[in-house]
Structure formats: C-alpha cells, structure tokens
Amino acid sequence: MRSLLALLLLPVFAQAAGEGSWQASGMGATLSNRGVAASSRALAPSQPVSGTMTLVAWRYELNGPTPGGLLVRLCSVTRCVPIEGQSGTTRGLTNVAAGEPLRFVWEVPGGGKLFPPLRVQSNQVIVNYR
C-alpha cells in the first residue's frame, strides 16, 4: 500500500521540486545574403519558471532544401550551442536559467546573395528543467 501511495504522489513531488517543461514556437527568419546571420524572435516561457535547463528539444521548418554549409545555433542570453538537422535535442544548455529566452540563429557562410532566399517558416523549442 505504501509503494502504491508513493507512486501516486510521485508527480506531485516532481512538481514540488520544480521540475517541468515549457514550449514556445514562432515564425522564423529570412536569409537573403551569405555571411549574414539572422535570428528568430525570442522564444520564452508563457509564465515565470525557476530552475535550470536540462534538455532542450528543437524543430524548425525551411521553405525549401537546406543550403550547403547552413550553420544553426540555439542561443540563450548567456550561451549558444550549434545544432544539426531540422529537429533534435541538446544538453548543451544544461544549467542555463530555465526562464531565459531562446533564439535560433541561422547563417550560410560565404558572400553574395542567396537565391532563392532561405525562409525559415517556423521554429519551436521544448525546454525541460529542474
């Protein structure tokens, strides 16, 4: 009986310990030139949270094929981590304050125009914290 009660109360204790997650999504950016970085708008929790990030999942969608050499970083106010692919997870932001907003930063190295321009249609993060 005790183990059943402990199992039922586990989610309550997890919340009391401050564990949780938040998600945010938004429109992406447009890159028209190589060698120029473009940033998404800040993605932030809808309510104040405390604790530190543990695992961040991301996803973004492009309007066409991925240009060769595309560099993408996921940045908090205090740290940036490179990410690969249009979806995945990172522990590179571990111990960053859970309430810090995140931004995607895209760049195609080199010089000259991108044709057609690269449009990031949407981006999303899910931040787990404790």
- pLDDT tens-digit map of 75-109: 999 999 999 999 999 999 999 999 999 999 999 99
Exposure on the CB side of residue 82, measured as CA atoms within 13 A: 5
CATH class label, 20-129: mainly beta
- pLDDT tens-digit map of 51-69: 999 999 999 999 988 888 9
Dihedral angle sign, alpha carbons of residues 35, 83, 28, 129: negative
Domain extents in the chain: 20-129
